[in-house]
Structure 1
């Protein structure tokens, strides 16, 4: 749908089946038990593709081939996060506040913070190519024109070529790059994996920070473009704010799995080639689990509701779940701590609605020039 937000907010769980046909061969799943069962499969009866490594041919999440790569990526991200000084984060936050609109500015913030450490000695031209690819991906979220799509494809091809040159020159000599090189063999696939990792780190992860900043400032659905918000006094622990932002506006709001074997799911007979779309947005707003399910209430995580783990799936579930989930939570919390120390500035909404595309992006906003 062009605008799925309104129907999803008005979803009637009591009178809607758990598996609903919304296009020929495509079904929406809003039941937690079914979602977890489907997400746990990687080959049959449902095929999974890991987001970061999905471009690599014959890559099966959770396989003996993929496990060492995932472990190496997780270790590298933890190392990078621990090595990042608070002063550097604060400096980059100031730059982001005076730069382009958020959340795009946050993607650049993450690229500056983590790019040098994950991709040491990357050339200025390669860094520029990555920035261009990120910028056009962020623009593509809101502009579905053929022109932007074409420019985005070119930018991504140039970014992958730049990473190919970087990886070839280093010959898999460090950390996770060596694990990737040993697993996939082809330098073309190494470049694809590196590009996928940087894209996930600097886009999807950055959205979580932007959502936290916006929600902490009192944003609610329906606020018009041009409205001005003021950041409230930090009160709740940063970890609870991150978890609540991911509950209310999960970046991975819709996860897809292809049917590979005839099977009945939720009373619906499915055939190979059809697709199930598992909606964490609906799972995270189940009123049977969450009180005031549509409200941003970080305090709920001081005593989370019984059974929440079965419906709280911000990173998916099973072998194909996000390899960087721990990093996302910890990095966002660390950056929010620095954010809380900065002088408050007013926020101006540039758009009214979130964008529910491949990722769930907040409405664009920017910071006023003067402090509150």
Structure 2
């Protein structure tokens, strides 16, 4: 009656929602037909760029979806976030709507603002049936998103073994790298899933590939203390002495995180315990820095060079093992100078009761005696 009296069938509210948008959200296909037959704009968009088709998908009204498609709804219209009706149906786990859209020609490779196709949504919600369907319909399984991650990265990260195996069987690039240079192999290391790690290696994953920082899967496993992951990697040929951009091997990571078990294993497998990084710091320097006595004792027992000097200045000398206690750094800083600076009275006492130089040069070239006020609380120091 209102329309007969001149009501505008396409009048929209302040959100640009039309009568057809409202009707599409209701399970009333006949009302939708009537509005369309009387001139309703089937592709009118609201403030989000969504047509009435989105509403029918949102409320899972399959019959309304069919009515709209049959009467000319644009099946591939994207909203302002580049989300298409198929993206929408996939994110809502609306399987019937997905099938209906795909069968009617929905673009299965359309990408949203994040560069993700509907396939990403199916994987995210572990829908193996629709994943198979879109692959059969020609979905690009190697299409990467804006972060360079592929559907395989996502499937492995979601711990979805059935889907990642399906992707690989259908040609997914197992060594595709994201924007950080990381392949899907890095993902199962995060949660120490040795079964997935073995599966990826068996299917051709490069075990010694490095990311943009030179970090290999073994570096990564060591830094995360990833349970048995590092063992699987080593057993399958991971390069134990590979260096990252700082010149550090995976053994540096195990020492930094005080992981004695992995440290022992890597040494047994041939890790170079005297490998210095780009600053000439050795593994022994690292062990001393983190105050891990168990690790630095192990390193010394295995032959670590206790007199190795780094480029940063302070030479990490282990006097108990026979290191030269008078050895100075490139800046003429001795062990005694450093011991007083950090108020280490034990080293001061040991140093001063040996045949050592009490007076030494500091880096600016002046000769000074040490400031004993730093250790005045120790009676042994005062007695000197």
Specify if TM > 0.5: no
Q: Give the structure, 1 or 2, with the largest relative contact order (CA under 8 Å, sep 6 or more).
A: 1
Structure with the largest fraction of strand: 1
TM-score in terms of structure 1 length:
0.17
TM-score in terms of structure 2 length:
0.16
Structure with the largest fraction of helix: 1
Structure number with larger C-alpha Rg: 2
